[in-house]
Each structure stands twice: as structure tokens, then as C-alpha cells.
Amino acid sequence: MNEQVKAYDEKMQKTCDHLNAELVTIRAGRANPHILDKLVVDYYGSPTPIQQVGNISVPEARMIQIAPWEKSMIKAIEKAILASDIGITPSNDGTVIRLVFPELTEERRKELVKDVKKKGEDAKVAIRNIRRDGNEAFKKLSKNGDISEDEIKDMEDDLQKSTDKYIKEVDKSVEEKSKEIMTV
């Protein structure tokens, strides 16, 4: 694989990585500490990820426990959770914050699967756009006379192989997440 194709391959890989990072934050009925990844707390005036102000654990299948290193952070952490879109009301006993995940209804599971599939479709569109950009760039090289038609064809073939590989990866990620969500 030559350098030009490699650059587009890396962009496709980043698209897949981004999709996987988004899928991790979707809750599937089980407590997953990654849903807190995007949350930040005001820690002495600077926005700080929750993971850096306390210990996060999963003592039960449907509960996340956050033990702040400073008791004064409990209110700030609760405020960040309430302001987020995770839809769970935190409860605290003065030392730890607990997030109890309710069972997902069948309807909510189907909504989440639909959302997962949409994110997967968006990722596939992004990958195909990267392929199109690459093919256009290769055609410009051929018009400038920098490389031969055969080399262009080889580069387009390599780019198509990368596209197929990453589309399969997206499908696999979406299928795994959908299965996880639908498992009661």
C-alpha cells in the first residue's frame, strides 16, 4: 500500500475508532462506567473528567459507584450527572454516589438499536466519502501526469479494499452493540 492510500486508510480507521467510542457510551441496561467518559466536573475552576476526581466502580450489574477523593466534590459530581444526558438520577450517602440503572423496556431497547444503526450508517457514509476524496485526488495526480493510469488503478483498488474492510468492521461493531442491547 503506497503513502497516498495509507493516508486515506488512516482516516477510515479513525472513523471506525470514533464510532466505537460513541457506541461504548450507549448504555445497554448493564452498568458500564464508560457512559461517564464524556462527563466533566468543575474542579477548582477547571473542567476535569469525573475519572480524575474519584474512583469509579461497578459493584453490581446495574449500579455504578463513584467515590470522590474529596468529599467536597460530591455536589459537583451530582450536578454534572444531572446536567448530562444519561438520564439517571444519582443518589449519595455523603461518601459515595450511586447510579442505579433501571431495566430497559423493549421499546427503549429498539430505540437504542435504531440509534446504534444510524451511527453505523453515518460511519459508513463517512468512510465512503473518504474513498471518494481519495479517488478524486488520485485522478488529479493522473491528469497532472505525475503517475501512470495503471498506478492510479492499483491505488483505487487498494482504497476499495480498505473501504470494504472498514465497512465490515462498522457492521460488526453495530451488530455486537445491537445484540448487547437486545440481550435481557
Q: Which residues pair with 68 in a beta bridge?
A: 54
Judged against a pLDDT cut of 80, whether residue 126 lies above it is answered with yes
In contact, 82 and 92? CB cutoff 8 Å: no
In whole angstroms, what is the distance from residue 134 CA to residue 44 CA? 46
Q: What is the pLDDT of residue 46?
A: 87
Transcribe 32-101 into DSSP letters.
-GGGGTT-EEEETTEEEEGGGTEEEEEEETTEEEEEESSGGGHHHHHHHHHHSSS----EE-SS-EEEEP
Q: Tell me which architecture the domain covering 3-25+105-182 has in CATH.
A: Orthogonal Bundle (1.10)
Least confident span in 32-36, 39-43, 130-134, 164-168? 32-36
Q: How confident is the model at residue 48 (pLDDT cuts 50, 70, 90)?
A: confident
Q: What is the pLDDT of residue 29?
A: 66
Q: Which of the pair, 144 or 76, is modelled with greater confidence?
A: 76
C-alpha cell of residue 5: 492510500
pLDDT tens by residue, 98-120: 988 877 788 888 888 999 999 99
Q: What is the pLDDT of residue 71?
A: 85
Q: How confident is the model at residue 1 (pLDDT cuts 50, 70, 90)?
A: low
Average pLDDT over residues 138-152: 82
Judged against a pLDDT cut of 80, whether residue 18 lies above it is answered with yes
In angstroms, the Cα distances linking 104 to 28, 61, 65, 110, 173 are 8, 13, 20, 10, 21
pLDDT tens by residue, 60-102: 878 889 899 888 888 888 888 888 877 788 888 888 889 888 7
In whole angstroms, what is the distance from residue 58 CA to residue 21 CA? 20
* Domain map (residue ranges) of the chain: 3-25+105-182, 33-100
First-to-final CA distance of the chain: 44
CATH of 33-100, one of 3.30.2320.80, 3.90.1150.10, 1.10.3720.10, 3.30.1360.40: 3.30.1360.40
In whole angstroms, what is the distance from residue 139 CA to residue 82 CA? 52
Average pLDDT, the chain: 86
In the block, which residue shows the cell 474542579?
43
Q: Quick one: CA dihedral 174, 176, 177, 178, positive or negative?
A: positive
In contact, 47 and 41? CB cutoff 8 Å: yes
